[in-house]
Amino acid sequence: MRIFKLKHPIQLANNHQITELNFRDYATAGDYLAFDIGGGHRQTIALIARLTGNDESLIERLHVNDYQEADRIASALINGKELELKKLPPA
């Protein structure tokens, strides 16, 4: 599991914060379904949601810098490059 610490935590209505996203170690064939959704960013949000087990509505609230880093991680996973992620320092 790759843990991505958000630089800009998401404040929820119930006084809780989302401070990190936990990505699976690999992508599955079902994750390609995210690409059946229209629009490039819509697809990316759907993919990040699938890989982290979060709702798309939560991913939509990511700060743009956190979104870009989450996109980098998701792109590596969906392209079968999870080993390359293990070589990088934690996000």
pLDDT for the residue numbered 70: 94
Report the 10 Å Cβ neighbour count for 62.
Answer: 22
Both structure tokens of 66: 């956190």
Q: What residues does each domain of the chain span?
A: 2-87
Of the candidates 61, 65, 52, the one whose C-alpha atom is nearest the C-alpha of residue 12 is: 61
pLDDT for the residue numbered 89: 61
pLDDT for the residue numbered 66: 92
pLDDT for the residue numbered 68: 92
Give pLDDT tens digits along the chain (91 positions): 789 999 999 998 888 999 999 988 888 888 888 888 788 889 999 999 999 999 999 999 999 999 999 999 999 988 887 767 766 666 5
